[in-house]
Amino acid sequence: MASAHQHERNQHASIQRNPSQNENPVSVGWPENIEDTENQSNAQNHSPTLDPTKPLTWPRPQKWVITIIVSCLTLIPPVSSTMVAPALANMATDLGIRNAVVSQLTLTIFMLAYAIGPLLLGPLSETIGRSPVLLASNVFYLAWTLGCGLARNKAELIAFRFLAGIGGSAPLAVGAGVISDLWAPGERGQAVGIYSLAPLLGPVIGPLTGGWITEPAGVVGVVGFVFIRETYVPVLLKQRQHHVSRDETSGSNTSESLMTRLRLASVRPLQFFVTEYIIMVVAIYMAAVFGVLYILLSTYPKVWTQEYDERPGIGALNYISLGLGYVLGSQINACSSDAIYRRLLVRRNANEPQSSAKGEPEFRVPPMFVGSVLIPIGMFWYGWSVQAHTHWVMPNIGSFIFFLGSITCMQSMQAYVIDSYAEYAASGLAAAVLLRNIAAFGIPLFAPYMYDSLHYGWGNSVLGFASVVIGIPSPFLFWIYGKKIRGRSKFAVR
């Protein structure tokens, strides 16, 4: 296995090496430092023709268009994942669902698909390219989403939502790789801020608009992505080599090479999950945050309709506070992330020449120190204000604080994984979100029983204490030991 993976890395290295620029690290598309990025930016301003195999040198407007479209595609499936939340009671009646766990399963089965899909689609995008995977997966998502609307029993609905989730997980699996392809480390903060907001804001928009937006809205994603160009550097270089010399490689050798790369790539996320200590810690942290998040989302309608006696439509308006927390946290983090990165870059390399200044993935960690404190504060506030039946504003403030902290931590973790694994960002993030999405699938199934036993005060306090134990030490672990842990990895940047 070790020799096979060494062969894979050597193969990627040979693909990325430009024969005419062997000494230039920029030629492979992933610069070693901020100065490389600045040189590329200056070059693109003065060069009439840009190298299409180097996405880092593409014009910024074009890179932003691709980033925004991928972010929009990432938004659509999570919207449909939680759109059924306000209607769970009605669905249970219509489909004859009498078990509370099965009723919750119709909602959370989407997240199980989100755990499995990236394990296949992320590595596939690192083999055949980002664009084909995204296009085919969006068509697949649309087909099964339409099937959900035609389901006539609970088994069909659960199965169709699972298959729709597999297709809908593609933007989540591939988007991180697109960001890594397009943006240098010192520029990724804002791009990650926009991209990572989508999968977290989607579950909030879904219940809020569930009565008005039908699931086939996913067709927008399918139509829009036809125009996305490929961004993965090894695939772009292969395409150029193919056009230069089509007869050098026989069809059988090409097929054999593709199958070998697919075989190696398919096991990479699981290998990351088992052997990469950074991925292990990130996965546990994300699972804790996302599990609590989906408990709150799955029980939110019940809080307002049963505890506060609000009509479903009025109760759904309380999701606005969650969305505000996400949007505000995302924008603050997006604006501050790159600024913090550059400041730490200057401080860390104060005695080094600018040409050798090099950033670290750990420069993405500081916002987590704030976010990890806000999460338990929000849970305590939300839980005890509901328990005491305070004014409806108070639970909204608590949930706002929680979502503000969660988006800050999730964005920082995604940026950290992207910076740490660069070329293998899609596989790295697929491995990192595996446990997160399993938690989002399984934990909410038992939320009704927890709240029936502990009620909202102590129930959310238990979750808050778990966030303290798992969440607050994690940023310190990454900040102090992150570089040492990366040094032991065969795939992470050093």
CA–CA separation, 32 and 493 (whole Å): 9
Mean pLDDT across the stretch 426-437? 82
The tokens describing 351, both together, are: 């005695």
Domain that includes residue 202, residue range: 57-237+265-349+357-487
pLDDT computed for residue 241 by the predictor: 60
pLDDT computed for residue 458 by the predictor: 94
103 assigned to some structural domain: yes
pLDDT computed for residue 355 by the predictor: 55
Instruction: Please state which of the ranges 74-88, 227-241, 442-456 shows the lowest mean pLDDT.
Output: 227-241
What is the amino acid identity at position 187? E
CA–CA separation, 67 and 71 (whole Å): 6
C-alpha torsion sign, points 212, 116, 67, 229: negative
CA–CA separation, 264 and 195 (whole Å): 28
Instruction: Please state which of the ranges 224-238, 330-344, 411-425 shows the lowest mean pLDDT.
Output: 224-238
C-alpha pair distances (Å), 209 with each of 19, 205, 214: 54, 6, 9
pLDDT at 25 exceeding the cut of 60:
no
Q: State pLDDT tens for residues 120-146.
A: 888 888 788 888 888 888 889 888 888
Domain with 310 in it: what CATH number?
1.20.1250.20
pLDDT computed for residue 21 by the predictor: 38
pLDDT computed for residue 234 by the predictor: 60
Q: How confident is the model at residue 209 (pLDDT cuts 50, 70, 90)?
A: low
CA–CA separation, 225 and 414 (whole Å): 23
pLDDT computed for residue 249 by the predictor: 46
CA–CA separation, 150 and 427 (whole Å): 34
**Helix/strand/coil for 213:** coil
221 assigned to some structural domain: yes
Q: State pLDDT tens for residues 243-257.
A: 544 444 444 444 546
134 assigned to some structural domain: yes
pLDDT at 41 exceeding the cut of 60:
no
The answer to whether 273 touches 283, Cβ cutoff 8 Å, is: yes
Q: How confident is the model at residue 356 (pLDDT cuts 50, 70, 90)?
A: low
Mean pLDDT across the stretch 475-483? 91
pLDDT at 224 exceeding the cut of 80:
no
pLDDT computed for residue 400 by the predictor: 96
32 assigned to some structural domain: no
What is the amino acid identity at position 466? A
**Nearest Cα to 303, choosing from 102, 107, 86?**
86
**Helix/strand/coil for 344:** helix
What is the amino acid identity at position 280? M
Mean pLDDT across the stretch 347-352? 72
Higher pLDDT, 170 or 3: 170
**Helix/strand/coil for 222:** helix
CA–CA separation, 463 and 14 (whole Å): 49
Question: Helices marked H in 225-318 — which ranges?
Answer: 233-244, 251-275, 277-302, 312-316
Q: How many CB atoms lie within 10 A of CB 287?
A: 22
CA–CA separation, 442 and 455 (whole Å): 20
Higher pLDDT, 456 or 211: 456
Sorted by sequence, the CB contacts under 8 Å of residue 206 that are 6+ apart come out as: 78, 79, 80, 81, 82, 83, 84, 85
Q: What is the DSSP letter of 443?
A: G
2 assigned to some structural domain: no
Sorted by sequence, the CB contacts under 8 Å of residue 80 that are 6+ apart come out as: 110, 145, 164, 168, 206, 215, 217, 218
Would residue 489 be called left, alpha or beta, if left means φ above 0 and alpha means ψ between -120 and 50 degrees? beta
Q: How confident is the model at residue 464 (pLDDT cuts 50, 70, 90)?
A: very high
5 assigned to some structural domain: no
Sorted by sequence, the CB contacts under 8 Å of residue 343 that are 6+ apart come out as: none
Q: State pLDDT tens for residues 174-185.
A: 887 888 888 888
Query: What pTM was estimated for this model as a whole?
Result: 0.70
Most confident segment among 178-192, 284-298, 334-348, 474-488: 474-488
Q: How many CB atoms lie within 10 A of CB 223?
A: 11
pLDDT at 465 exceeding the cut of 80:
yes
| Count of structural domains, the chain | 1
The mean predicted confidence, pLDDT, of the chain is: 76
Mean pLDDT across the stretch 345-355? 71
Most confident segment among 52-61, 164-173, 363-372: 363-372
Mean pLDDT across the stretch 394-407? 94
Q: How confident is the model at residue 429 (pLDDT cuts 50, 70, 90)?
A: confident
Q: Which residue has tokens 């080094």?
A: 352
Q: State pLDDT tens for residues 184-200.
A: 887 887 888 788 777 77
In the chain, % of residues over pLDDT 70: 75
90 assigned to some structural domain: yes
The answer to whether 435 touches 287, Cβ cutoff 8 Å, is: yes
Q: State pLDDT tens for residues 284-333.
A: 888 888 888 888 877 888 898 888 988 877 887 888 898 899 889 888 88
The tokens describing 249, both together, are: 């490689």
45 assigned to some structural domain: no
Burial of 209 (0-12, 13-18, 19+ CB in 10 A): middle
CA–CA separation, 262 and 270 (whole Å): 14
